[in-house]
Amino acid sequence: MLFFRNDYGQGCIQDILDLLQKINLENVTGYGMDPYCTKAKQMIQSYIPDLEVDIHFLVGGTITNQTIIKHILKPFEAVLACDSGHVSTHETGSIEATGHKVIMLPNNNGKLTPEVIKKCFNEHMLTYEHMVYPKLVYISNATEFGTVYTKKELMELRNICDELGLYLMMDGARLGQALTSNVCDYDLNDIAKWCDVFYIGGTKNGALMGEAVVITNPSLKPYFRFNMKQNGAMMAKGWLLGVQFIGLFTNDNYFTCGKHANKMSKMIQDELVSLKYPLFMKSDTNQVFPVVSEKQFQYLSQDIDFEVWDKREDMLIIRFVTSWCTKQEDVDILIQKLQEASALE
């Protein structure tokens, strides 16, 4: 069975496993106050020369989104997010569980635009204290649809946030894939300047687990560790997470991983286009969204493990995801299967 279901279906790059083995019996301080976390932070900081940032390592995406948002917002403040955003849909109400409304705005290819933010903000100001106060703009990059924000788009979001007094937060669960996408015209240092807080996803780009939260806005730095601990987001053996990011940022592994995943997906998407499969979305990264018929779906399902994204009348939107360890030979077989399926109906 070929595996194109997701990008968290395997373990991690070998460098991480090797380091885990190497230090296994060392005596290390707990709760992320150890030399490995310190080193990992220094490695990440070195990619952000223009700002002094605070860095924290958390174990997974949902708890990271939850901890950041809980840390930042006052009780009556709300999140502005796409209706396709991860916090809007697939986190089982984890943001609402901390007391905050997620205002779901229409997405534009998976992205938020300044226009919908401004319209929403203005509507809320009309009745003021009778509605929540929209305060934090949440974006995912790459988005849940595989698209990537451009430099221009991010600067415009920063501008509208400045104009309206909003925070800008980037969910970077797939930031590695975004930064190595062909359409990306900026780097970590730029992101740090545009966002008040963002995170660098490890789980979906070569690590066993772990997201590196980068706080750039000085007013948001104090007391983050209190909220981490309260929220169950501080690991006793915190160095495990430091080790992940040492591994990822050694020899630019993180970018190599992202680039590989994107390259594998591009081959698939290019073939889909040439075979005239409709696309639900033109992806810039490691997720590809062809639209297939029921017969094609049945045929592909025989040998390939993938996800059904949505149904539209008699067609299905399916999703192929590649990762840091997707093999060229598997892509070749997938392409062959797609060719065969294209002949069906």
Interface residues for a copy of itself in 34-63 (CB under 8 A)?
A: 59-63
Stretch near a copy of itself under the rule CB under 8 A, chosen from 70-78, 146-154, 156-164, 292-300 = 70-78
By CB under 8 A, residue 99 contacts a copy of itself? yes
Query: 142: cis peptide before it, omega within 30°?
Result: yes
The residue among 215, 182, 252 whose CA lies nearest residue 55 is: 215
Q: Which residues pair with residue 215 across a beta bridge?
A: 54, 197
Give the position of tokens 């009780």.
75
Question: How many C-beta neighbours within 10 Å does residue 182 have?
Answer: 12
101-120 residues in contact with a copy of itself (CB under 8 A) are 101-102, 104
Contact present, 195 and 170 (Cβ < 8 Å): yes
184-213 residues in contact with a copy of itself (CB under 8 A) are 203-204, 208-209
By CB under 8 A, residue 29 contacts a copy of itself? yes
By CB under 8 A, residue 19 contacts a copy of itself? no
Residues that bind a copy of itself (rule: CB under 8 A) add up to a total of 77
Nearer to a copy of itself, 198 or 224 (CB): 224
The residue type found at 331 is V
Task: Provide the token pair at 88.
Answer: 């809007």
Nearer to a copy of itself, 21 or 302 (CB): 21
Task: Provide the token pair at 149.
Answer: 């924000």
Longest dimension (CA), the chain: 63
Q: Binder to a copy of itself among 84, 94, 287, 342 (CB under 8 A)?
A: 94
Stretch near a copy of itself under the rule CB under 8 A, chosen from 43-51, 86-94, 253-261, 295-303 = 86-94
Give the position of tokens 């929403």.
120
Stretch near a copy of itself under the rule CB under 8 A, chosen from 64-72, 152-160, 280-288, 313-321 = 64-72
Give the position of tokens 């730029």.
190
Kindly compute the dihedral angle of the four CA atoms of residues 315, 316, 317, 321, in this order, to the nearest 10 degrees. Answer: -140
Nearer to a copy of itself, 48 or 105 (CB): 105
Minimum Å gap between C-beta 330 and a copy of itself is 10
Nearer to a copy of itself, 181 or 205 (CB): 205
Q: Binder to a copy of itself among 50, 90, 151, 162 (CB under 8 A)?
A: 90
Contact present, 137 and 118 (Cβ < 8 Å): no
> What track of x and - describes contact with a copy of itself for positions 216 through 255 (by CB under 8 A)?
-------x-xxxxxxxxxxxxx--x---------------
Nearer to a copy of itself, 18 or 187 (CB): 18
249-308 residues in contact with a copy of itself (CB under 8 A) are 305
Stretch near a copy of itself under the rule CB under 8 A, chosen from 129-137, 144-152, 164-172, 313-321 = 129-137
By CB under 8 A, residue 328 contacts a copy of itself? no
Contact present, 212 and 202 (Cβ < 8 Å): yes
Nearer to a copy of itself, 50 or 76 (CB): 76
> What span, in angstroms and rounded, lies between the C-alpha atoms of 30 and 132?
39
> What span, in angstroms and rounded, lies between the C-alpha atoms of 289 and 197?
29
Nearer to a copy of itself, 134 or 157 (CB): 134
Contact present, 13 and 247 (Cβ < 8 Å): yes
Q: Binder to a copy of itself among 66, 181, 205, 285 (CB under 8 A)?
A: 66
Nearer to a copy of itself, 30 or 218 (CB): 30
> What span, in angstroms and rounded, lies between the C-alpha atoms of 331 and 293?
21
> What span, in angstroms and rounded, lies between the C-alpha atoms of 339 and 274?
10
